Structure 1
Amino acid sequence: MGEVFLIEPSKNYREEFISMIRDYEKHEDEEYFNLYKEALEDFDKYVDKLLNNSKGIGLPKDRVASSTYWLVNKNSDVLGVIRIRHELNSEFLRNIIGHIGYDISPSNRRKGYGETILRLGLEKVKEMNISNVLVTCKSDNHASSKVIEKNNGVFECEIVDSESNNIYRKYWINMNSLEVKIKKYYESYDEDSRLIKDKSHSIEFITTTKYLDRYISKGDKVLEVGAGTGKYSFYFAENGCDVTALELSEKHVEIMKNKLNDNIFNMEAVQGNALDLSRFEDEIYDSILCLGPMYHLTKEEDRTKCIKECLRVLKPGGFIAIAYISKFAHFTDMVKRNKDDINDRGLQSIVKTGVESNDPNSCFYFSTYDDIEKLMNDNEVQKTLHIATDGISDMLRDSVNDFTNEEFNLWMQYHLDTCENPNLIGYSKHCLYIGRKN
């Protein structure tokens, strides 16, 4: 699936939209052909009607404002349509129809566009300040159910439409949930180049792999939970491990799958949540890499649940690696970037709570050496190592990046000589705990 995006209805897309209508007609999909056929009679009038609907202009008293967007690709093909109702003013809307309706033209189904159009539509919903979104589908439409669930839909109940006797499944999507915030953050962040974009950033990857190589061997079965774009997963797959990379962000999963198309590795990339590893059987992995979830799990019970799930699928005697961000290093780094941040009460709260309190869109959690030690001790993990993976390099980023290769090697030697010293770990932006399951 190439790049796609949503646009407002436009008279410039006459041929492309009519082509979509003909696709419904060709496949004898009467429901959607009938929905769009008025565009065949007067396309310009149809587009004006949709644009007016989004502003609540000219609507009957029992209708609500509804914004329509078309899913298009780089070739300007119209692949599908999503409709977002601004409010739910009737029992019918609150039980059967919901806030969002969408469809993908028959020739473009089973290509991942359904999941994409809903994800992009939810970004529009957030702009409308709708905090809880109702999305429904017929109970026998299993594909739509999966699309909604992948977009964080939480099932409420099934309900029968008294007019049609159809059974509908009701899902709610909380636009303020942590999962939504995490996905939104990574939609605009280039995670794929984070560990390689300069000398300073590369230290974390160099250090982490150097230490993990002590415990992970060729042929091992490895699960990476919160794999990002797979930098570590691909590293161990290239070194002969059987790797499963589980990642929350659909964007990141697609990046990994595209890379796998160009390479032959014993590796699988799947979308999923670190709090639910139920797809995996007990005690089947030699090693678990949990190098991302602790960056984001702001609730203590979620951090505990994540560790317990990781340990459940780990073999007895297997190794678990947990990465986290130091709250102390983050605090000083933010003040270094902008000295006025020392007055920021939200930033000040990080030291006490691990969460930046004044940012409603924050999806990060900042921890400490002691917090992680306690978390792993409480779960009866036998500590092997606890190290600083980038040390003070992030604070000295400009200097480190200006090093010659010889100077950088000297810095790396200093870093590796000191990264196990517990007196220095707190100043490292990123840290790593490695332990063994009893």
Structure 2
Amino acid sequence: MTVDAEIEVHYTTRHDEAVRLSGTLKGRLERVRVGELLGRYLPPPPARVADVGGGPGVHASWLQAAGYDVELLDPVRRHVDQATAAGIASVQGDARRLPWDNEDFDAVLLAGPMYHLPEAADRRLALREAIRVLRPGGFVAVIAINRAANLIGSALANRLLERQQVVTEILETGFSPDNERMAHTTYHTVTQLRSELVNSGLRGVTVHGLTGPGGWLTVAIDAHFRDQGLPDSLNQPDPLETALACSRLADRCPELVPASSLLFAVGQRA
């Protein structure tokens, strides 16, 4: 089965991305933080934004509601149908071969291709395509998964011993062929992610901790109470607000970026 076919199967039969971003604490934290960080770089509405690998349109929806002119592309038919139903201009396609004209957008968000393209050459193609459709001075923002995320997450879930080989391979190379969690997923170090954006020709590259240290609180709670719901004792204070406060404080300390399970990198086209 090809990489593209496995991703289609993963998101069609095993995983509901819309539920993850709206129905889990970790997903809700990710959604809020993408809005906060992206808002630092976006020009004002009605600037044009390409949401590449935009899934069911969760991020595109709030961008459109804020007045941005958004177009979404995703390789998964189910996601394109969901985004279209939400009123977002959407097309099924490949991040390595974007269907848009040169210099058509003011900003490009790559919220999936950087971790679902395990080959470095394919990620370079996706970045080059993002830059091609971007106007001079515009920004490319990408989301990547921290290479240490599997180690910490497996330890928190007390599954490290059973996943030790997978975790070890990911720590050493950024990829494991036996990783059962996500189809064909690659994991970045902070240095690697910055280098990939710089080498693509982007300037002023900055890497942020997307979920920050506070993200591990949401992971622990989601894992422990997945089938039970949150008890009242954990609703005071709201764990999402605690995680947000932690992640925002960590923004002041660049040395804490590697403590985040998700990374958010931004670079500008010359």
TM-score bucket (shorter structure): 0.7 to 0.9
Gaps of 5+ in 1: 1-175, 261-266
The code of the aligned residue for 1:352 comes to: E
SS state of the match for residue 341, structure 1? coil
**4+ residue segments displaced more than 6 Å:** none
Structure 2: segments with no counterpart, 5+ residues: 223-229
Superposition deviation, residue 177 in structure 1: 1.1
Distance in 1 (CA, whole Å) between partners of 2:161 and 2:241 is: 33
- SS of the equivalent of 2:208 reads strand
Tell me the percent identity: 23
Q: Indicate whether 1:414 and 2:240 are aligned.
A: no
- Tell me: higher relative CO, structure 1 or 2? Use CA pairs within 8 A at least 6 residues apart: 2
Partner in structure 1 of residue 37 of structure 2: 211
Cα deviation, 1:196-242, whole Å, max 9, x if unaligned, reads: 21333311111110121222221101111100111111111111111
Instruction: Between 194-203 and 231-240, report the one with greater CA deviation.
Output: 194-203
CA contact 2:77–2:92 (8 Å) conserved in 1: yes
- Could you say if the C-alpha distance between residues 180 and 408 of structure 1 is closer, same or farther in structure 2, counting changes exceeding 3 Å? closer
Deviates more, 1:392-401 or 1:417-426: 392-401
Call closer, same or farther: CA 1:407–1:298 in 2, change over 3 Å. Answer: closer
Identify the match of residue 369 of structure 1 among 190, 209, 228: 190
Distance in 2, matches of 1:183 and 1:315, equals 31
Distance in 1 (CA, whole Å) between partners of 2:151 and 2:16 is 22
Partner of 1:183: 8
Task: State the Cα distance separating 1:335 from its structure 2 match.
Answer: 3.1
The answer as to whether partners of 1:350 and 1:357 remain within 8 angstroms in 2 is no
Return the TM-score normalized by structure 1.
Answer: 0.55
Query: Which residue in 1 is equivalent to 2:26?
Result: 200
Q: Deviation of residue 359 (structure 1)?
A: 4.4
Displacement after TM superposition at 1:376 (Å):
1.0
User: What's the Cα RMSD here?
Assistant: 2.1
Once the two structures are TM-superposed, the CA of residue 291 in structure 1 deviates from its matched residue by 1.0
Cα 1:185–1:230 shift into 2, 3 Å: same
Structure of higher CA gyration radius: 1
Q: Contact 2:197–2:205 (CA<8 Å) still a contact in 1?
A: no
**SS at 1:380 equivalent:** coil
Measure the CA separation in 2 of the matches of 1:405 and 1:346. Answer: 35
Q: Which has the larger strand fraction?
A: 1
* CA 340–284 in structure 1, closer or farther in 2 if over 3 Å, else same: closer
Cα shift at 1:434:
1.3
Aligned to 2:257: 425
Cα shift readout 1:229-263 (whole Å, capped 9, x = no counterpart): 11111111111111110011001111111222xxx
State the Cα deviation string for residues 102-161 of structure 1 (Å, max 9, x = none): xxxxxxxxxxxxxxxxxxxxxxxxxxxxxxxxxxxxxxxxxxxxxxxxxxxxxxxxxxxx
Letter matched to residue 138 of structure 2: G
Matches within 5 A, 1:111-260: 176-187=1-12, 188-216=14-42, 217-260=44-87
Residue 147 of structure 2 corresponds to residue 331 of structure 1:
no
